[in-house]
Amino acid sequence: MAPRKQPALRMKKTLQLAVPALVDAGETLAGRAVKARGVGPDNDLWLLAEGSEVLHYVDLSDVWERIPLPSALTDFHEVQPLPGNEVLLVSPRCRYRSTQPDRNARVYSREGTLVREMTLGDGIADVQTTADGQVWVSYFDEGIFGNYGWGRGDAASRPIGEDGLVRFDALGQRLSSDVKEALGLHAMADCYALNVASEQEIWFYSYTDFPLIRMRTGRAPTVWESPVRGAHAIVVSDTHVLFGGGYEDSCQLRLFTLHDRGVQRLGRVATVVLTDETGRAWQPTWLTGRGPWLHGAEGTRHFRVHLSELLAQAPT
């Protein structure tokens, strides 16, 4: 979706924090490209390597678990764990056919055996799972409005992702969610960022108005109007949010307080600069949030940082 022209957002203060690399996957990858990256509900790192091997980094023992798959997988861009030692791979594209839509999700055992295939819809932007097997899928504009045969006006071709964010179970069956109710008067044309913090707490941030929305089981949703445009990662706590990326700078990190008494608004805190162990600023090409954790990657090196570490250094 084409961005609207917006004036640059100014932050008065800058916060700098040293964040050493969590792991360098270069030796394990051995020259292979990374086709997909993901962070599981246990805050663990998952990669899909060129040549059809899933790599799971077990940081407590500093080892990579290797899961070889039986055939070359070229179009899967999302990787997530599921309960029962299963691994979910998802392709962003899914063509509608009246006989059978594409099955763009595959579930494998830890031994690399294909267990089942599922249809999760076209135009997938992100996938995050929970410890109890929920699969939250966000969609970009083509998945919401229709493409690849979806959205032709009949009920059968109605886009699966028309709400912008959909919850499935581990078998690919659609589950109820409160996304439409949470959006209220806002329209979602593209889900730019998703953060599945737990089984009971989901955050998202969407085009066109870029509201930041928190959904919690059994509680009314909270909506903050956001001055940030075009972020692609959100990291959250009860009191703060960190936005990763934006139209002006895909690597920029900006920290805000969450005000939710009376009018929900965001208070500017600082621009955040993360440096590696050499003092060089990280220039991540991949960012994602899981609850209060920010994960990023630059080349084969990966890092993560907890929001509390930033808040300990934040200006008052």
Task: For residue range 92-105, list pLDDT tens digits in order.
Answer: 999 999 889 999 99
pLDDT at residue 8 is higher than 80: no
Domain count, the chain: 1
**Helix locations, 148-193, DSSP H:** 179-183
pLDDT score at 76: 95
Alpha-carbon gap, residue 308 to 34, rounded angstroms: 30
95 within some domain: yes
In whole angstroms, give the CA distance from residue 270 to residue 15.
6
Assess if residue 25 is contained within a domain: yes
Is the per-residue pLDDT at 315 higher than 90? Answer: no
* CB neighbour burial string for 64-89, b if at least 16 within 10 angstroms, e if fewer: beebebeeebeebbbbbbbeeebbbb
Alpha helices (H) in the chain, listed in sequence order: 26-29, 141-145, 179-183, 307-313
For residue 263, what pLDDT is reported? 63
Identify whether 8 is part of a domain: no
Evaluate whether 80 touches 131 at the Cβ level (below 8 Å): no
Expressed in percent and rounded to 5, the helix, strand and coil fractions of the chain are 5, 45, 50
Residue 7 in any domain: the answer is no
What is the CATH number for 237? 2.120.10.30
pLDDT of residue 7: 58
Query: Could you list the residue range(s) of the whole structural domain that residue 22 is in?
Result: 14-313
Q: What one-letter code names the amino acid at 116?
A: R
Tell me the per-residue pLDDT of 29-40, one tens digit each, with 9 for 90 and over: 999 999 999 999
Question: According to the model, what pLDDT value does residue 300 have?
Answer: 98
B/e letters for 186-200, b = 16+ CB within 10 Å, e = fewer, are eebbbbbbbbbbeee
Residues 259-282 have a mean pLDDT of: 90
Identify whether the C-beta of residue 85 lies closer than 8 Å to the C-beta of residue 55: no
Q: Is residue 264 part of a domain?
A: yes
The answer to whether residues 285 and 303 touch, using CB atoms and an 8 Å cutoff, is no
Name beta bridge partners: 257. 240, 267
Radius of gyration of the chain (CA): 19
- Asked whether residue 1 is domain-assigned, the answer is no
User: Would residue 4 count as lying in a domain?
Assistant: no
What integer pLDDT is reported at residue 1 of this predicted model?
A: 52
Quick check: is 2 in a domain?
no
> Model confidence at 260, in pLDDT bands (50, 70, 90)?
confident
State pLDDT tens for residues 41-81: 999 999 999 989 999 999 989 999 999 998 777 789 999 99
Kindly report, residue by residue over 166-206, the tens digit of the pLDDT: 999 999 999 999 999 999 989 999 999 999 999 999 999 99
Averaged pLDDT for residues 305-315: 93
Token pair of 166, please? Answer: 């959909």
